[in-house]
Structure 1
């Protein structure tokens, strides 16, 4: 029998958690390297089932020469694969990046659209990727839920939910408005470096006293 889902923390506790996050890192940033909206979309699409560090290592040389959809089309599939072959699922990702680039050139004048629906219609771009681009490039308070945020949201009670969409909605509902813009960055960084899956680093956690997780490490 599955345990009951954790109840959301009280509003004043969540407010204090994000106040602490904001005090420690007022302007958190995503770790994927990019030079414009297009390279950001490509980087996020490549990061599926891969680490940001691994994607950055592969795309530094790529983005030094390719910064537009047309340049990507000119590079071609073999040229792109040569750059990203260290990334998991690189062949399928290369095909999607080229398909996406063709659509951007043919239907959007080479520009990346700024609506979630349009972004999600692009090959290789799902809801999470669209939310990352909306948040990081256009500064929309969109919440991109990955495994780190899903774990943190449920473990702490900040944003419990049975799936990523439910957690996304819970962040939108539970996190105070002043913290919405940076909420997913604070959560992903905390989940990636402190509230890790195995043996969370509770002694180093700045919200330890507010967190109801029963199995804290010493």
Structure 2
């Protein structure tokens, strides 16, 4: 298959498997998605959801978070990896949102990346899920799957992002991101891909298919 044929095949196969794809992080606002995404670095969505269930009851928005004692924030995120750094960044980002954006999460990558703890991937997650922008957040799953299948041949996430944006129709980018992420999380796993259960085998270039 050529790349266009692969995209069409993946879109149909994973569209059938995940008919309403969306982030598995739980949130009620762009702010809550931002904080959950910051917490998700080097962690799992399941773990983050356990933490934010309490965190967002106490601090549901930037205003309440910015007024919360740093130690209280740290105690609420204690069980997450890199909790000290994440707690500091959450508080600092919340304060900057109040100072510079009226407590609202901006809808541009440039402005999002001015916030402590927010890099390109986190900004893209917020832009895609909260604001419906056709951007491609690239985590380890998206990078791995898109290279295994043969959509791209890249060594780093930024090149993967650029390569995918160049070939995926703009109106399919948001869903396609979720397809690749969910496929990598549950089927095309890093160490033991479940190739015998994979609906993408006819479109996949992975040389070590595990049957």
TM-score normalized with structure 2 length: 0.96
Cα distance between partner residues in 2 of 1:102 and 1:110: 8
Aligned match of 1:51: 44
Query: 1:62 deviation in Å?
Result: 0.9
Query: 1:155 deviation in Å?
Result: 0.9
Aligned match of 1:202: 195
The partner residue of 1:37 within 5, 19, 30 is 30
Query: 1:24 deviation in Å?
Result: 2.2
Query: 1:42 deviation in Å?
Result: 0.5
The partner residue of 2:155 within 157, 162, 165 is 162
Aligned match of 1:26: 19
Judge conservation of contact 2:134–2:171 (CA < 8 Å) in 1: no
The partner residue of 2:119 within 104, 116, 126 is 126
Cα distance between partner residues in 1 of 2:123 and 2:185: 21
Query: 1:64 deviation in Å?
Result: 1.6
Residue 80 (structure 1) aligned with residue 73 (structure 2): yes
Aligned match of 1:4: none
Cα distance between partner residues in 1 of 2:148 and 2:172: 20
Residue 173 (structure 1) aligned with residue 166 (structure 2): yes
Query: 1:63 deviation in Å?
Result: 0.8
Runs of 4+ in structure 1 off by over 3 angstroms are none
Q: Secondary structure at the match of 1:181?
A: helix
Cα distance between partner residues in 2 of 1:129 and 1:160: 23
TM-score normalized with structure 1 length: 0.93
Q: Which runs of 5+ in 1 are unaligned?
A: 1-7
Query: 1:160 deviation in Å?
Result: 2.6
Distance 1:9 1:79, change over 3 A: farther
Aligned match of 1:140: 133
Q: Secondary structure at the match of 1:128?
A: helix
Q: Which runs of 5+ in 2 are unaligned?
A: none
Judge conservation of contact 1:44–1:129 (CA < 8 Å) in 2: yes
Aligned match of 2:210: 217
Aligned match of 1:3: none
Residue 117 (structure 1) aligned with residue 104 (structure 2): no
The partner residue of 2:185 within 167, 181, 192 is 192
Judge conservation of contact 1:159–1:170 (CA < 8 Å) in 2: yes
Cα distance between partner residues in 2 of 1:24 and 1:112: 32
**Cα offsets for 1:2-40 (capped at 9, x unmatched):** xxxxxx942122221112212222220111111111111
Cα distance between partner residues in 2 of 1:187 and 1:46: 21
Cα distance between partner residues in 2 of 1:53 and 1:216: 28
**Count of matched residue positions in the alignment of Structure 1 and Structure 2:** 211
